Amino acid sequence: MKLPKLAISALILFFLLINGSTSSSGPTRKKYSRRPCKRLVLYFHDIIYNGNNSKNATSAIVGSPPWGTKTILAGKNHFGNVVVFDDPITLDSNLHSPPVGRAQGFYIYDRKDYFTAWLGFSFWFNSTDHKGTLQFIGADPLNKTRDISVVGGTGDFFMARGIATLMTDAYEGDVYFRLRVDIKLYECW
């Protein structure tokens, strides 16, 4: 009866040692999982300059194809239009809610035969909840929902990576649209 006890003690001791060595093994600070380590749902609002709305506009056409102009999106599904934006980010879908930051960057309409876009932008947070930035890039096939990549972050989002699921929440005649952005971070430091 004495020896099995000893073996059991050893077992317990080893277990403690194994766990100890595992939890302190090196400077790893990242966590990986298919479950997000952080999740945020936000909205941003884009009002395209059309020649008359200088005061309210949050974006402007800065590049256009040979057949286009800069005050109206071009034909052929806007193929070739480059739009620079600085859009307010809100917690709900109301354009007039207090912004928690700005979505800044550009999008390009990149296909002739139907609508698709390519996006490069940052979320710049400046609220009591969050300070810092997240960087996004990706193809936007303008399906009901579509995924782009979160490729980096700073501040509260130091070194973050993840996926953002976009949904066009409202679209009003080539002048206003609202995107719902469901941000799921899978790498958090």
Q: Is the dihedral of CA 132, 119, 102, 182 positive or negative?
A: negative
Choice between 19 and 94, CB closer to a copy of itself? 19
For a copy of itself, the closer CB: 91 or 142: 142
Cβ 185 to a copy of itself, closest distance in Å? 10
The minimum distance between CB 123 and a copy of itself, in angstroms, equals 8
Q: DSSP letters along 156-170, please?
A: TTTT-EEEEEEEEEE
Closest approach of Cβ 12 to a copy of itself, in Å?
Answer: 11
Cβ atoms of 83 and 58 closer than 8 Å: no
Q: Which amino acid is at 15?
A: F
**Least gap, CB of 91 to a copy of itself (angstroms):** 20
Shortest distance, position 104 Cβ to a copy of itself, whole Å:
5
Q: At a CB cut-off of 8 Å and minimum separation 6, what does 183 contact? A: 38, 39, 40, 41, 42, 123, 134, 150, 162, 163, 164
C-alpha to C-alpha distance for 6 and 68, rounded to whole angstroms? 84
- For a copy of itself, give the closer residue by CB, 76 or 169: 76
The rounded distance, in Å, linking the Cα atoms of 84 and 138 is: 16
Beta-carbon contacts of residue 173 (< 8 Å; ≥ 6 apart): none
* Tokens read off for 72: 């109206």
